[in-house]
Amino acid sequence: MEEKGLSVIVKTVTRWLKGFIFLYGIYIVIYGHLTPGGGFPGGVIIAGTFILITLAFGKEYALGKMGKLLASELDSIGALLFLLIASMGIYFTGTFFTNFIEKFHPTGNFRLFSAGIIPLCNLSIAMKVGASLFMVFIIFAVVRVVFEDGKGKLISTEKEKK
């Protein structure tokens, strides 16, 4: 049976680094209101973890870790959480996207929870960005363009389930 993915060296280094890269992405998301970073860069780093796994081990292995359906659901949940957090400002203060946590529970500056809703927004954005970028990469890995009679045609390289 043919082994998928890249060389043993790349797979070994990927096994060692994937957890650290993922944790670094989480760190960038959580402390994004205190340091340069936030939801988008953290989500890109998290997606980079899954892209690295796909490149090293093959798309079948990566889809076993996070499938297209799960990525689509995380993308939608991230968008809905962001909208919910923004809408909760209307409920608590009458204004869309108001920082209602900081308004009702003020804390000192430069603390993890000093930003109110911003860390929650960063988490939802990271979920959306990470899942979206992984989905785009998987679509590029699964779909190919074949030219027949001068016309481009998209075909899937996935094996059909019987």
According to the model, what pLDDT value does residue 162 have? 46
Q: Give residue 97's Cα distance to chain centre.
A: 23
- In the predicted model, what is the mean pLDDT of residues 91-100? 87
- In the predicted model, what is the mean pLDDT of residues 35-46? 90
Rounded Cα–Cα distance for residues 118 and 149 (Å): 53
- Is pLDDT above 70 for 159? no
- In the predicted model, what is the mean pLDDT of residues 14-35? 91
What contacts 102, CB < 8 A, 6 or more positions away?
Answer: 114, 115, 116, 117
Band of residue 14 on the pLDDT scale cut at 50, 70, 90: very high
